[in-house]
Amino acid sequence: MFSSKEAFKKEYLQRFKEVTGECFEESSFIDRYNVLASLVMKYASICMADSHSLMNREKNQKRLYYFSMEFLVGKLLEMNLMKLGILDVVTEGLNDLGVDIKDLADVEMDAGLGNGGLGRLAACFLDSLAFLNIPAMGMGIKYRYGLFEQKIHEGHQVELPDKWLRYGNQWEIRKASKAEVIRFYGNIRTIEKDGKIVVIHENYETVLAVPFDVPIVSSSSSNVNFLRLWSAGSTDAFDFNLFNKGNYMEALREKTTAEAITQVLYPNDANYEGRLLRLKQQYFFVSAGLRSIRRRYKRNNEELQDLSKKIQIQINDTHPSLVIPELMRILMDHERLEWDEAWEQVTGICAYTNHTILPEALETWPQEMMKCLLPRVYMIIEEIDRRFKEEGDESTRELRARNSILRDGLVHMANLAIIGSKSVNGVAKLHTDILINETFSELYELYPDKFNSKTNGVSHRRFLMKSNPLLTKCINKTIGEEWKDDPARLKNLLDHCGDRNCHEMLKSMKRKNKERLAAYVMKTMEIKLDVNSIFDVHVKRIHEYKRQLLNVLHIMYLYDRIKTQKMKIYPRTFIFAGKAAPSYHMAKEIIKLINKVADKVNNDPEVSSYMKVVFLENFNVTLGELIYPAADVSEQISTASKEASGTGNMKFMMNGAITIGTLDGANVEIMEKAGEDNIFIFGLRSEEVLEYYRNGSYSSREIYASDWDVQRTVDHLIDGFLSKDTSEFRDIYDSLILHNDAYFVMKDFRAYVEAQKEVEKAYRDTGRWFEMSMKNIAASGYFSSDRTIREYDNEIWKIKEDINN
Ligand code: 26V
């Protein structure tokens, strides 16, 4: 691209005039950002065009389509510059022009088209697919409003719309010519023609699906993949008849109803609600995506029998699992394939990833709703279900009935996804074991070969190289730069983990990152953090199973000890961030509690030299990038068995933080890789938790009665310790005592307190601490999403294999 910073400056200033018609000197950050982004986009688009034509026409390569309702992409400017290898040139060039690139990067709004783990994983996967040169396309929804913006007002969460498109989106190309028409509602009639049944769909409503393509650039090749986001509009934008009769509102109705489909991302990340609009979203992007795949396929291929040799679809959780019946519909109704031929293709193409075993998150739709909205798709699901129940031998009949797709008036989406896919994977070893042995044990009996595990990973390019340049430098100095393209080589750090100079380097890196975060906290909250204190960080969605409550109760306990027993602790800064689903009452109560405790601790001079507590507003990808590099301690304390994998745990690890956690999700593998001595594990194991659920023998009251510290701390929720209004945290108290503490917070309290003492002891021993830290960084290469994607490809998609043949 730019051979030198001079070349960059020349092109940038030229482009500035072309785009804005203004002089650079008087321009705003917004204009400067827009022009820079458009310049990067120019190159990315050219590469995208070239690689498309190469992949499609000449090579006709096999390709992956990653269907996901969520892609939590974050900001793209610096990432794209880094991947194109021009971040330094551009930074310096801008410097010459008197511009700090950070000011421009700040202008970009996060593309927050996801809730949390699942959406961010999808974005990391796109990054790795591009890096590994695997032809792939992400298929998703262009929500007008992404995940809400969180404000904290007097300790409460307030939700504001996320206007991420306020200044437009520089990273997309609208492909009006590739729009598709999607059909909802109506009736189905069948007729016979030439001895074949023909399905006729009548009286349907239509919605227009317009694709926006976002290029995913890669540092390793000129192949540019892309993310295709679908936006809904009316096929008949304005009814002039109605308008001419003066009925303005009615004339707009159709347009508004159609557009509503992609207006907003549903902000729940665990609690499933059977909303019609959500089902519309699912079918909308599934149908549009498949139609565009079919179009592309037919341009380059003649035989439909080869479909599964050219196309692979990964279904990210059950949300896109309508892919299965919709693809059946297209192959049968449009391409005239017989059921068996179509089914062979579909079950050779689709693979499903499960991301949660929380029963309340497993998707089901009322049969009546689906039948009405998607009459033909529903018929196909009925047929899939009928065949599933009749297949196999007699001995499996009952088992099949118990696991059918249509039961109790509901469509069970996970069952549909498992039956219609060639592969079913969990996202960490433990999670997969639980899927196999508990959640889907009976389906596992029928399809043992489908089940497999793919431990999650994260993009070390974004969460280490981009967000922690200081650590990147330290690593380069110690082991060279090969690890950047092959993160497994971080292992080489093990040869240096006893080296005092390395410890000093890491210590100074951590300190600077803590200063960077402290400056942000000062600017945004006017709270001064002590960078010499331990930064103990708990950032993720707020959920009872993630047990932010356990962390706060521990803080309350420490506070009380310092006050009443003059206990001395190593200074600590407890940092929280995360959003609660707007309708999740308990999660919002927990946010209130954290803020109440923060208020009390931070304003008590007797304690505040030992402790600070802060809740940072509006956790998103960008804030994460500021926080992970500054963390000393990573809180991963979910109730064992509940966290499918966790990916924050990996981001912290990569940045040299030490985990305090339960043996849950990928923590288990983090322990295996980093070594038991380099992580602080405590609490119930998953088997113990599952056993308690089975036999119902847990009693939180027993613990309350037998452990004085637990009792005193829990009582502080309602005895005026926190608030004059003793009813304020009654619901939390009741969840623990009246409702028997469903997440075993009280059960694990004592073990957590002890583990935290160990953390403090280790931190006081600087040599030990940084040795542990280095061992974590060294072992973090395994948790790069490059490794995860290689596994998906080697074992499920087999795309590289196809390219190499
Ligand atoms: C579920 C629902 C239910 C209906 C309403 C909207 C909605 C949106 C998202 C979800 C999926 C929740 C599942 C999820 O995010 N799982 C997380 O996936 C991460 C990546 O695999 C994993 O690291 C986390 O442990 C897991 O909780």
Pocket residues for ligand 1 (CB within 6 Å)? 115-118, 121, 266, 268-270, 272, 317, 355-356, 361, 427, 456, 643-647, 665
Nearest-CA residue for atom 3 of ligand 1: 272
pLDDT for res 710:
98
Write down the pLDDT at residue 53.
65
Q: How far is CA 393 from the centre of its chain?
A: 41
Residue 227 pairs with which residues in a beta bridge?
Answer: 138, 214
Contacts of 36 (CB under 8 A, 6+ apart): 12, 77, 90, 94, 104
Distance between CA atoms of 29 and 107, rounded to whole angstroms? 7
Number of helices (H), then strands (E), belonging to the chain: the values are 35, 25
Dump pLDDT digits (tens) for 240-266.
666 677 776 766 777 888 999 999 999
**Which residue is closest in CA terms to ligand 1's atom 4?**
272
* Residue 55 confidence (pLDDT): 66
- How much is the mean pLDDT over the chain? 95
d(CA 228, CA 211): 6
Q: Which atom belonging to ligand 1 lies closest to the Cα atom of 643? A: 25
404 touches 432 (CB < 8 A): no
Contact 707, 749 (CB under 8 A): yes
For residue range 110-138, what is the model confidence (pLDDT) as tens digits? 999 999 999 999 999 999 999 999 999 99
Return d(Cα 561, Cα 66) in angstroms, integer.
Answer: 51
Which residue's alpha carbon is nearest to atom 7 within ligand 1?
269
Q: Which of 259, 262, 243, 261 is nearest to 251 (CA)?
A: 243
Ligand 1 atom nearest to 665, measured from its CA:
25
Architecture of domain 60-74+110-456+790-804: 3-Layer(aba) Sandwich (3.40)
Which of these ranges, 79-83, 90-94, 147-151, 251-255, has the smallest mean pLDDT?
Answer: 251-255
Lowest mean pLDDT among 9-23, 443-457, 518-532: 9-23
Cα 269 to ligand 1 centre (Å): 5
CA angle centred on 598, ends 535 and 680, rounded to 5°? 35
Catalytic residues: 355, 540-541, 546, 647, 651
Q: How far is the CA of 456 from the centre of ligand 1 (A)?
A: 13
Q: Which amino acid is at 398?
A: E
pLDDT of residue 300: 85
Token couple for 254 = 């159709």
Return the pLDDT at 58: 62
Task: Count the helix, strand and coil residues of the chain and give each as a percent rounded to the nearest 5.
Answer: 55, 15, 30
Residue 664 · residue 639 · CB < 8 Å: yes
Domain with CATH 3.40.50.2000 in the chain: 60-74+110-456+790-804, 460-685+747-780
Number of CB atoms found within 10 A of residue 453's CB: 18
The predicted structure's pLDDT at residue 682: 98
Atom 23 of ligand 1 has which residue's CA nearest to it? 646
Phi, psi of 403 (to 5 degrees): -110, 20
Tokens representing 200 are 């006729």
Q: Could you give the maximum distance between any two Cα atoms of the chain, in Å?
A: 91
CA–centroid distance, 492 to ligand 1, in Å, is 34
What's the 287 CA to ligand 1 centre distance in angstroms? 22
195 confidence band (pLDDT: 50, 70, 90): confident
Q: What does the alpha-carbon distance between residue 311 and residue 350 come to, in Å, rounded to a whole number?
A: 9
Is the per-residue pLDDT at 184 higher than 60? yes
The protein residue whose alpha carbon is closest to atom 24 in ligand 1 is 646
Cβ-contact 216, 129 below 8 angstroms: yes
Atom of ligand 1 nearest to the CA of 456: 21
In tens, the pLDDT along 654-700 reads: 999 999 999 999 999 999 999 999 999 999 999 999 999 999 999 99
Distance of alpha carbon 431 from alpha carbon 356, whole angstroms: 8
Q: Please write the tens of the pLDDT for every residue from 566-595.
A: 999 999 999 999 999 999 999 999 999 999
Percent of residues, the chain, with pLDDT higher than 70 = 97
2 contacts 89 by C-beta, under 8 angstroms: yes
Region 357-370 average pLDDT: 92
The answer to whether residue 170 scores a pLDDT higher than 70 is yes
pLDDT at 52 over 90: no
27 C-alpha vs ligand 1 centroid, how far in Å? 42
**Exposure b/e, 261-276, CB count within 10 A at least 16 = b:** bbebbbbbbbebeeee
Q: What is the CA 293 to chain-centroid distance, rounded?
A: 24
SS (H, E, C) 622-671: HHHHHHHHHCCEEEECCCCCCCCCCCHHHHHHHCCCEEEECCCCCHHHHH
pLDDT at 314: 98
- Span 458-494, pLDDT tens digits: 999 999 999 999 999 999 999 999 999 999 999 999 9
Task: Report in angstroms the alpha-carbon separations of 618 from 143, 160, 240, 580.
Answer: 18, 10, 43, 10
Assess contact for 611 and 555: CB atoms under 8 A. yes
Query: Two tokens at 425?
Result: 């994977």
- Give nearest CA residue, ligand 1 atom 15: 118
Name every residue whose Cβ is closer than 8 Å to that of residue 234 and which is 6 or more positions away in sequence.
207, 208, 254, 255, 257, 258, 259
Q: Find the DSSP H helices in 530-641.
A: 548-565, 585-602, 605-608, 621-627
Spatial CA neighbour of 591 closest among 153, 193, 139, 95: 153
Q: Residue 168: is its pLDDT beyond 70? A: yes
Q: Is 58 helix (H, G, I), strand (E, B) or coil?
A: helix
Token readout for 67 is: 């269907």
The CA 356 to ligand 1 mean position distance, Å, reads 6
Mutate to test the pocket of ligand 1, among 66, 68, 113, 118 (most ligand atoms within 8 A of CB): 118
Q: Which atom in ligand 1 lies closest to the alpha carbon of residue 431?
A: 25
pLDDT at 44: 86
Could you give the angle at which helices 766-779 and 745-764 cross, rounded to 10 degrees? Answer: 110
Q: What residues pair up with 423 in beta bridges, in sequence order?
A: 351
Ligand 1 pocket check: which of 264, 269, 434 to mutate, most ligand atoms within 8 Å of Cβ? Answer: 269
CATH architecture of 460-685+747-780: 3-Layer(aba) Sandwich (3.40)
